[in-house]
Chain A
Amino acid sequence: NAGVTQTPKFRVLKTGQSMTLLCAQDMNHEYMYWYRQDPGMGLRLIHYSVGEGTTAKGEVPDGYNVSRLKKQNFLLGLESAAPSQTSVYFCASSYSLDLGETQYFGPGTRLLVL
């Protein structure tokens, strides 16, 4: 049981390049989330999904797109990377958001946009 895994662990992009971050979970969770974390800012929700084929915007969705084609995977895409998107990206999943249910986080992806 690997829990939540993220690919890649680290990436350097040039401004304008595109890339996709992959999040995978093996816990059969319905809900999945993408956050970004910047120094001194805490975590901010980018997008989330409450089930296969459904996605919704979080606090800071601009510049990102997501897809949930399979229940176990949640993809985060950057179509045209900008230096402001330099951050650590965390993926998380949960069975639900009911009382007592917790989110399980991946190890993070460090992205540097030059």
Chain B
Amino acid sequence: LAKTTQPISMDSYEGQEVNITCSHNNIATNDYITWYQQFPSQGPRFIIQGYKTKVTNEVASLFIPADRKSSTLSLPRVSLSDTAVYYCLVGVPNYGGSQGNLIFGKGTKLSVKP
């Protein structure tokens, strides 16, 4: 299973762009990178998923360099409501015995201040 490493915590201010980097040095060829967001007292919710280069949706962007050994979740102009824990998962999306995309790790606790 590809192991991921993220910062334990990050602080930001409202209106700033926040970039959270996840390291996954032993990512496999077929692995995808998925990010989830978890608010206090709630279950996680899917944010974005990608394989290489850049993926963008209405919530965030995901940047993946050519070697795919890391990825960066970018949150544009954060607000107080973006305060949450963000998890990076690496694994094969479709079930085939690999549980990589089901391993959440400890995540990054983002605190957005006014």
Contact = CB atoms under 8 A, between A and B. Distances in A.
B104 A42 contact: yes
Contacts of A58: 99, 102
B91 to A, nearest CB: 9
Give the contact-size bracket for chain B: 20 to 34
B103 A59 contact: yes
Given A97-B93, A99-B94, A105 B102 contact: no
Main secondary structure, interface of B, reads loop
Given A45-B104, A99-B93, A103-B46, 17 more contacts: A31-B95, A42-B87, A42-B106, A44-B104, A45-B102, A48-B102, A50-B95, A58-B99, A59-B99, A59-B103, A90-B43, A92-B43, A96-B94, A97-B101, A98-B93, A99-B32, A105-B43
Interface of A: 4, 31, 33, 35, 40-45, 48, 50, 58-59, 90, 92, 96-108
A108 B94 contact: no
A102 B46 contact: yes
19 contacts: A4-B43, A42-B85, A42-B87, A42-B106, A43-B44, A43-B87, A44-B104, A45-B99, A45-B103, A45-B104, A50-B95, A90-B44, A96-B94, A97-B92, A97-B93, A99-B94, A105-B44, A107-B41, A108-B41
